[in-house]
Amino acid sequence: MKFHSILILLAAMALFVAPLGAARKKKSPPATPPAKKPTEKPAEAKPEVKGADLEAFYYVGQWRGKQKGKKSFGVGTVSLIAPSWAITAHHVATKKISSPETTNASVTFQIPGKGRRKSVTVGVKKAYGGFKGDFALLHLSKPVTTVAQVALLADSIVRSDGTIPFTMVGHKGGLHVHRGRTGRSNKDGTGFYHNADPDGNRPGKAGDSGGAWVIEREGKLRDVQFAVIHGGGKGPQIAPNRKLINEIVARETPKETVEWVRKKDLVKSKSKPAVKPPAKKRRSR
């Protein structure tokens, strides 16, 4: 009798527990949120100029500086503005400016021509500071006559000039050129801002400091550099230092000159005018 009662009790418990278990099985686990995709770093802008077309920009070379007694060395970018003269950012040449006797520096430019790529390397005799902005002037140990020079913009780009299309030239990891860049002047015309792409990036790396922002020109006309790359999308304009540059070059190398081009003469360019040309006056008949 007792055994029969126990069986009845167990059967009743089974009827109660089974639906409960079934209900638990039907209960779906909380949805797992989809895994977040790792943020992809936007692709770096690729140089638009390659191969033989790079020869037009061989006026941009590489800086290499080293302090005596140290194994490490610094690299940067320079532009050739006269046979014995180049320009770069002040922070690239700081040690050569402040400690010339204990700092060795040289610049290297590629030589245009067919066949195997060649280059010329010359020492930096002296680096001059004391300019407006992050700017330095380099006196080379001997003239570089196998490479064309870049001209300089004689007057500053100002706010009223609006957005300026230009070409960026750097030398980190080898010469690289980026066309179709845009930028604008700062408030007083002493600096220039390089606009970022929609993804917030700009082409260039740390070793491009001292490089060139230029306005290209057609034919045999020299390209015109208006600013030196500082970094972080900004750089000093060259025009505010025009007087001091000319004084030093004339004093040290009387037979050499720097070509300066005014904004009004920048009508012929490979794309569209970088600055608004002055309105043409009508000739009276």
From the number of C-beta atoms within 10 Å of its C-beta (0-12, 13-18, 19+), residue 150 rates as buried
State CA 218 to chain mean position distance: 23
The full set of domain ranges for the chain reads: 54-149+241-256, 153-240
Per-residue pLDDT band at 51 (split at 50, 70, 90): confident
d(CA 101, CA 84): 20
Domain 54-149+241-256's class? Answer: mainly beta
Residue-wise pLDDT for 160-187, tens only, equals 999 999 999 999 889 999 999 999 999 9
Residue-wise pLDDT for 118-154, tens only, equals 999 999 999 999 999 999 999 999 999 999 999 999 9
**Which range is most confident: 1-5, 23-27, 37-41, 279-283?**
1-5
Per-residue pLDDT band at 115 (split at 50, 70, 90): low
Q: What is the mean pLDDT of residues 50-61?
A: 89
Higher-pLDDT residue of 220 and 32 is 220
**Nearest residue to 187 via CA among 165, 157, 152:** 157
Cite the DSSP H helix spans in the chain: 2-26, 94-98, 242-252
d(CA 51, CA 104): 32
pLDDT on residue 70: 80
Residue-wise pLDDT for 195-252, tens only, equals 999 998 898 888 899 999 999 998 889 999 999 999 989 999 999 999 999 999 999 9
d(CA 113, CA 228): 27
pLDDT on residue 249: 98
pLDDT above 60 for 69: yes
d(CA 127, CA 116): 32
